[in-house]
A and B are shown apart, each in its own frame.
Chain A
Amino acid sequence: MDCTAQMSIAGLTAAEGRRFLYSGPANNATSRHAIQSVIAWLADAGLAGEARGDVEIALAEAVNNVVKHGYCGVMAGRMRLDCRLTGQALQIDLTDNGPGLPGGAPPKQRNIDLSVARDQLPEGGFGWLLIRRIADEVDYARCGESNVLTLRFDVSRDNAEQ
């Protein structure tokens, strides 16, 4: 995907649906706050609890990757969350200025081998699996010095909570 097409992929304008933007430092404390702000915005927009829970899981993994790997210990990293919601879909574009993904793409979903002995069980590597199992579409583009990860979720606003 090229970078100019990426921004118009959802065909959303300001007049349709809702938009939430977050821009700030990328560390554990701020990222938790950012994610919870997105989820609060989704609640306000009427997205049902289970759908919000799913988005929170996928988004937390994507943001954790940026915090953990994106800046390799450099303190000045920033990230941007651009969230757009219509009656059909939620699209979240996560932008950061860290190094690009190895191989130029997110890891393909893989099964985790849990048939190993108990003391060999993995303690990590679940993040991309969770993202790919929950998000309906995952796209990635390296645009200049930025990474843009796009997560798209099919939603139904008929499930609004009381």
Chain B
Amino acid sequence: MTLTHIDRGDARIVTVHAPRIDAAMAIGFKEEMRGRTEDTPNRIILDMSGVAFIDSSGLGAIVASMKQLGPERRLDLAGLTPSVDKVFRLTRMDTVFRLFATPQEALDVSAC
């Protein structure tokens, strides 16, 4: 599991460089996210465009990563591929996270 990040203003774009976030990867993802978001400003935008598949463990790890940020910061998602988008829609987690087509679209929207 590799995550990279760049900062843009008050947002940090974290890119996931793994084709799957599943049961085997979920704990590692959560821990890496914790490390990369400890000292960040208001917003994390998670670029998921490289991820072709998540299962419920992967979804849970993303929810856990959001909860790790605490009430003052938000986690937005960008670039969900069709199968990943479907998991969010079927579980109605698309009502909990803001989903954007690209990180740039997410940046163009205000942080609130």
Contacts and interface: CB of A to CB of B under 8 A. Distances in A.
B111 to A, nearest CB: 16
Nearest to B61: A123
Interface centre among B61, B63, B95 (most CB of A within 10 A): B63
Describe A's contact surface by its main secondary structure.
helix
A28 B67 contact: no
Given A57-B55, A64-B55, A130 B67 contact: no
Interface stretch (A48-56, A75-83, A137-145): A48-56
Interface in B75-106: 82-83, 86-87, 90-93, 95-96
B71 A57 contact: no
What range describes how many residues of B lie at the interface?
Answer: 20 to 34
Contact of A121 (B55, B61, B87, B96): B96
Interface stretch (A4-12, A14-22, A94-102, A111-119): A111-119
A67 B57 CA distance: 13
B66 interface: yes
Contacts of B95: 114
A64 B26 CA distance: 12
Interface residues of A, number: 31
A60 B57 CA distance: 10
A56 B60 contact: no
Contacts of A119: 67, 71
Contacts of B87: 57, 130
A141 to B, nearest CB: 24
Nearest to B20: A32
A127 B90 CA distance: 11
Given A112-B91, A118-B66, A123 B55 contact: no
A118 B67 contact: yes
B63 A130 contact: no
A114 B56 contact: no
B59 interface: yes
Contacts of B64: 123
B24 interface: yes
A130 B90 contact: yes
A124 interface: yes
Contact of A126 (B23, B24, B59, B96): B59
Interface centre among A118, A122, A123 (most CB of B within 10 A): A123
A50 B56 contact: no
Given A32-B24, A60-B22, A64-B56, 7 more contacts: A49-B82, A53-B86, A64-B57, A123-B61, A126-B56, A126-B59, A130-B91
